[in-house]
Amino acid sequence: MTQKNQEIGTTAFGKVAVLMGGSSSEREVSLMSGQGVLQALRSQGVDAHAFDPAEQDLCALKTQGFERCFIALHGRHGEDGTVQGALELLGIPYTGSGVMASSMGMDKVMTKRIWRFEGLPTPDWRMVASVAETEAAFAAIGSPMIVKPAREGSTIGLTKVTTLEECAQAYVLAARYDPEVLCEQFIAGDETTCPVLGTGAAAQALPVIRIVAPDGNYDYQNKYFTDTTQYHCPSGLPPQEEAAIQRMVEKAYRTLGCRGWARADVMIRASDRQPFLLEINTSPGMTGHSLVPMAARAQGISYEALCLRLLATATLDSAGPEA
């Protein structure tokens, strides 16, 4: 692309708001994602500006003349359909999935119900609303068991339970973030993640990333603030195994009606190499430790090109599938 053509292409985006920060428990990570996106877009000639919904009313997007939004928000009021709904009412196109897909993707239980209905493999689970129900879930699911909020991200509020005595503390921690708590069968094996770009039949998975965290603990700290977690991309998995995961993730993405981009987490059971879908992230991180940019680089897509590509997909539910 020549400089002249690049300027024509990027100025066509108009005034762009990079939504970052927000009021969720993932605010700190969102600010890092947003700053990365903001710098990348500006470096490519886009008239991009930071916009923090925790500091300004979303209606200011309209009065300040913004023509599209890059959503770099994470967690509640960012990727759960609420901001998407507000932007639909304001008539401002935005990146990522629409209202319904965002809402379903944020709710791990609803996501698992849909995947299970569609025949996609996901670990066994129970919804619980008390310590007693958590203990009953432990008896049914077995050890180890994961206890986590149904509508949080970045492993916030998550506990790996190995004894009955640990159930109470795990439930209390998860319930601090969400009244709906998910108890899930733990899958021992390789931890992987796979991003998807595009919409509908054109959606395509990027290379799979295999994650090796210290002591197998891929928690909030090891995700974003340490350099001890190892990310393998190429994954080192057998080619047929990686291809099967990519096909499964593409189906999982389309089943929920996602668009633009997302990233699905997959565990591969060591005993038989069966992959299991854990959850999907419809507003993935864009920090220095983030995984979508890593997979994109392996595909030959730079961080700046990825940001431009995502911005170009900004649309509205009301614009229809051909938008």
User: pLDDT at position 320, please?
Assistant: 67
Residue 260 lies in a domain: yes
Q: How many domains does the chain have?
A: 3
Nearest 5°: the CA angle 293, 312, 111 is 60
Q: Which listed residue (177, 218, 224, 303) is catalytic? A: 224
Three-state DSSP class for residue 148: strand
From 159, 185, 211, the end of a domain falls on 185
Give yes or no: 96 in active site: no
CATH code of residue 138: 3.30.1490.20
Give yes or no: 165 in active site: no
Nearest Cα to 9, choosing from 60, 47, 65? 47
Do 41 and 112 fall into the same domain?
no
Residue 19 lies in a domain: yes
Give yes or no: 281 in active site: yes
Beta bridge partners of 190: 268
Do 150 and 20 fall into the same domain?
no
Q: Which listed residue (25, 26, 36, 152) is catalytic? A: 26
Do 162 and 271 fall into the same domain?
no
Do 300 and 216 fall into the same domain?
yes
Residue 316 lies in a domain: no
Query: 145-149 and 181-185 as β-strands: parallel, antiparallel, unpaired?
Result: antiparallel
Give yes or no: 67 in active site: no
Q: Which listed residue (33, 102, 154, 290) is catalytic? A: 154
The residue segments making up the domain with residue 279 are 105-121+187-309
Q: First CA to last CA across the chain, in angstroms?
A: 24
Do 241 and 112 fall into the same domain?
yes
Residue 70 lies in a domain: yes
CATH code of residue 27: 3.40.50.20
Do 179 and 287 fall into the same domain?
no
Do 17 and 158 fall into the same domain?
no
Residue 320 lies in a domain: no
Give yes or no: 220 in active site: no
Do 111 and 242 fall into the same domain?
yes
Do 271 and 162 fall into the same domain?
no
User: pLDDT at position 15, please?
Assistant: 98
Residue 317 lies in a domain: no
Do 252 and 113 fall into the same domain?
yes
User: pLDDT at position 184, please?
Assistant: 97
Residue 100 lies in a domain: no
Q: Which listed residue (135, 166, 242, 279) is catalytic? A: 279
- Contact call for residues 151 and 76 (beta carbons, < 8 A): yes
Q: Which listed residue (265, 283, 303, 317) is catalytic? A: 265
From 144, 164, 185, the end of a domain falls on 185
Give yes or no: 126 in active site: no
User: pLDDT at position 8, please?
Assistant: 45
Do 212 and 287 fall into the same domain?
yes
Look up residue 175 and give its two tokens. Answer: 């319930």
User: pLDDT at position 126, please?
Assistant: 97
Give yes or no: 320 in active site: no
Q: Which listed residue (33, 222, 235, 281) is catalytic? A: 281
CATH code of residue 213: 3.30.470.20
- Contact call for residues 25 and 75 (beta carbons, < 8 A): yes
d(CA 64, CA 49): 11
Give yes or no: 218 in active site: no
Phi-psi region of 16 (alpha: psi -120 to 50; beta: other; left: phi over 0): beta
d(CA 305, CA 228): 28
Do 155 and 195 fall into the same domain?
no
Whole-prediction pTM: 0.91
User: pLDDT at position 155, please?
Assistant: 79
Q: Which listed residue (102, 135, 285, 303) is catalytic? A: 285
Nearest 5°: the CA angle 80, 82, 88 is 120
Residue 219 lies in a domain: yes
pLDDT in tens, the chain (323 residues): 444 334 446 778 999 999 999 999 889 999 999 999 999 999 999 999 999 999 999 999 999 999 999 999 998 889 999 999 999 999 999 999 999 999 999 999 999 999 999 999 999 999 999 999 999 999 999 999 999 999 987 678 999 999 999 999 999 999 999 999 999 999 999 999 999 999 999 999 999 999 998 766 545 555 555 677 899 999 999 999 999 999 999 999 999 999 999 999 999 999 999 999 999 999 999 998 899 999 999 999 999 999 999 999 999 998 765 44
